[in-house]
């Protein structure tokens, strides 16, 4: 993958990275880019100054010529460009979205991924068979109206109760913007409702469910959590009554009384959570959600390939790995349908893409609305180039299942392997939907940098560039930039990430986001109307 070029003397060693021998562009890896006039050993002379992460023409390109990266056409030139030119987004015309007709259906050969045995972590076994990586009390809310009261209660629980329960890692109020003022009978309302329902059953909450409701809201507790919808206390008593504190109940006289009731109810849940202990469990109990945010041209060269290598390790160990972000895989749909384990799974992938195309179409945009100013400044010209770098996170395994937004692995009877969990690419919405799917560990790659974190699961952040890892030394957990620097291979960083995951899942190590308590809000995906 890497073409490393050296110039004599003391000038910085120019490093170009080409992803495929058939590519006619490569990216500049050097910090700060390379000046015009830089001579590469093969005689290539840079015509322009080329910023870090940006593309250089490796051959003379005619006007309208296909520009190839990852051996994929990422666009056509809008003018003739001599060899050594900076090929940036304004010089590229983006291809149309790939058709959803006539795609290869489950045609890829099964890759050789021999079982990987003997890896374990220390986790919390739940009655429903899932395993937590943290031992948290979650307070489910039916509506945004109760958020302020719940925040007060959570503060008091932290201060007054948690010191008595040293085996509990924390308490989380599941605050969100849904629950009332919404068209709750619209067909697409199923998405936010099942998302919230499934988050309540996340493995890190120990199957303890308590709910705070206002009373008059559209999303009534029984609608959010109908009997048997989540394994309260385990499969044996799936019909156990819900534990609900309703703020409009006549029993509450004043604000303090509401908070007192929530704190009192929390106490019984905390007693049960505190009695739990970590046990040695196989690595197959990991449910890892991978996503990227603040991507640059290095995302698809360093961090995402290392995550992809690690994805294969996890799949080999019998774990579950979810990749997501529909607008970032849309341009690679033919690769994905080919990699589906069955034609039915390939069709499910197409159905999710078609649904999202229609959703975007209602807003008169398409998948190209995904890219940000930061992506472009980081060298990603358009969504096609971004997608090719994003899909690499999924490794090489066949895709064994597809989740619609807000569905859980349990809903679909999936317990291992590589899964496509359809979500928007929005970092907070993707993370929220992967939580609903049942993730117990999150891996997040970033090139431009984001301090992203979640209160509900540990988030391991992987930097794509050494410069970012150095500046954000107390935010980034892994530096995949060493791959571009020639200091480590994709395989080495992939194994490092695998071992770090087992340490973080075991509670032996905390991620930087946990250390600083950096928590982004839960953001429910609501494609239905509000009223």
Report the residue number, 137 or 336, with the smaller CB distance to Ca ion: 336
CB of 512 to Ca ion, least distance (A): 18
Count of residues that bind Ca ion according to CB under 5 A: 5
CB of 122 to Ca ion, least distance (A): 29
In terms of CB distance, is 57 or 443 closer to Ca ion?
443
CA gap 407, 387 in Å, rounded: 24
Residue nearest to Ca ion (CB): 293
Positions 171 through 230 that interact with Ca ion (CB under 5 A): none
- Spatial CB neighbours of 256, under 8 Å, sequence gap ≥ 6: none
Task: State both tokens at 411.
Answer: 């809903």
Binding mask 98-127 for Ca ion (x = CB under 5 A): ------------------------------
**Closer residue to Ca ion, CB minimum distance, 34 or 454:** 454
The angle that helices 190-200 and 427-437 make with each other, rounded to 10 degrees, is 60
- CB neighbour list of residue 192: distance below 8 Å, 6 or more residues apart: 176, 178, 182, 406, 524, 525, 526, 528
Stretch that binds Ca ion, among 38-46, 163-171, 283-291, 302-310 (CB under 5 A): 283-291
Beta bridge partners of 294: none
Smallest separation (angstroms) from Ca ion to the CB of 430: 5
Tell me how far apart the alpha carbons of residues 97 and 78 are, in angstroms, rounded to a whole number: 19
Q: In the complex with Ca ion, which residue's Cβ is closer, 347 or 426?
A: 426
Nearer to Ca ion, 284 or 291 (CB): 291
What is the sign of the dihedral through the CA atoms of 488, 491, 497 and 503? negative
> Based on CB atoms, which residue is closest to Ca ion, 44 or 288?
288
x/- binding map, residues 393-432, to Ca ion, per CB under 5 A?
A: --------------------------------x-x--x--
Which residues, 452 to 481, sit near Ca ion by CB under 5 A? Answer: none
Instruction: Pick out residues in 284-303 that bind Ca ion (CB under 5 A).
Output: 291, 293
**Rounded least distance, CB 412 to Ca ion, Å:** 22
Q: Which is nearer to Ca ion, 480 or 488 (CB)?
A: 480
CB atoms within 10 A of CB 151: 12
Nearer to Ca ion by C-beta: 26 or 439?
439
Q: Are 262 and 161 within 8 A, CB to CB?
A: no
Distance, CA of 301 to CA of 444 (rounded, Å) = 15
State the minimum distance, in angstroms, from the CB of residue 175 to Ca ion: 21
Tell how far CA 460 is from the center of its chain.
10
Q: What is the DSSP string of 17-61?
A: E-SSTT-SEEEE-STT-B-TTPBPTTS-B-SS-B-TT-EEESS-B
Using CB under 5 A as the binding rule, whether residue 169 contacts Ca ion is answered as no
Look up residue 357 and give its two tokens.
């195309």
Report phi then psi at 485, rounded to 5.
-75, -10
**CA separation for the pair 505, 7 (Å, rounded):** 45
Task: Give min distance, CB of 126 to Ca ion, in A.
Answer: 28
What does the per-residue mask of binding to Ca ion show for 430-449, with x meaning CB under 5 A? x-------------------
Where does this chain bind Ca ion (CB under 5 A)?
291, 293, 425, 427, 430
């Amino acid at each position: 993958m890497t073409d490393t070029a050296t110039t004599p003397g003391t000038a910085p060693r120019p490093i170009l990275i080409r992803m495929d021998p058939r590519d006619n562009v490569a990216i500049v890896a050097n910090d700060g880019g390379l000046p015009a006039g830089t001579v590469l050993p093969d005689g290539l002379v840079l015509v322009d100054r080329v910023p870090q992460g940006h593309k250089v023409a490796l051959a003379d390109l005619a006007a309208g010529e296909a520009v190839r990266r990852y051996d994929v056409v990422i666009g056509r030139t809008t003018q003739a460009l001599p060899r050594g030119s900076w090929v940036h987004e304004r010089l590229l015309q983006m291809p149309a979205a790939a058709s959803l007709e006539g795609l290869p259906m489950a045609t890829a050969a099964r890759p050789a991924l021999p079982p990987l045995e003997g890896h374990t972590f220390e986790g919390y076994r739940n009655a429903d068979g899932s395993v937590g990586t943290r031992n948290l009390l979650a307070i489910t809310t039916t509506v945004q109206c109760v958020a302020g009261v719940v925040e007060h209660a959570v503060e008091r629980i932290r201060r007054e109760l948690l010191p008595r329960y040293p085996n509990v890692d924390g308490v989380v109020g599941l605050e969100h913007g849904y629950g009332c003022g919404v068209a709750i009978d619209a067909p697409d309302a199923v998405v936010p409702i099942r998302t919230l329902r499934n988050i309540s059953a996340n493995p890190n909450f120990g199957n303890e469910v308590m709910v705070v409701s206002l009373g008059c809201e559209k999303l009534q507790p029984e609608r959010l959590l109908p009997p048997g919808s989540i394994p309260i206390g385990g499969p044996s008593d799936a019909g156990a009554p819900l534990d609900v504190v309703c703020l409009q109940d006549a029993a509450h006289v004043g604000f303090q009384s509401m908070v007192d009731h929530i704190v009192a109810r929390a106490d019984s849940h905390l007693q049960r959570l505190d009695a739990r202990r970590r046990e040695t469990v196989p690595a197959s109990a990991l449910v890892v959600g991978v996503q990227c945010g603040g991507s640059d041209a290095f995302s698809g060269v360093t961090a995402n390939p290392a995550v992809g290598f690690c994805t294969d390790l996890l799949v080999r160990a019998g774990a579950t790995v979810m990749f997501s972000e529909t607008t970032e895989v849309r341009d690679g749909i033919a690769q994905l349908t080919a990699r589906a384990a069955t034609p039915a799974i390939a069709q499910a992938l197409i159905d999710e893409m078609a649904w999202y195309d229609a959703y975007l179409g209602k807003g008169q945009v398409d998948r190209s609305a995904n890219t940000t100013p930061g992506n472009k400044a980081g060298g990603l010209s358009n969504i096609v180039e971004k997608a090719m770098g994003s899909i690499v996170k999924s490794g090489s395994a066949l895709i064994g299942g597809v989740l619609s937004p807000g569905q859980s692995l349990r809903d679909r009877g999936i317990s291992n392997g590589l899964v496509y969990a359809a979500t928007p690419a929005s970092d907070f919405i993707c993370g929220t939907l992967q939580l609903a799917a049942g993730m117990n560990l999150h891996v997040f790659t970033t090139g431009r940098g984001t301090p992203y974190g979640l209160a509900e699961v540990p988030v391991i952040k992987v930097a794509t560039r050494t410069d970012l890892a150095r500046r954000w030394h107390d935010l980034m957990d892994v530096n995949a930039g060493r791959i571009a620097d020639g200091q480590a291979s994709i395989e080495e960083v992939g194994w490092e990430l695998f071992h770090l995951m087992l340490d973080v899942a075991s509670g032996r190590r905390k991620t930087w986001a946990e250390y600083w308590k950096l928590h982004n809000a839960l953001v429910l995906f609501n494609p239905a109307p509000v009223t």
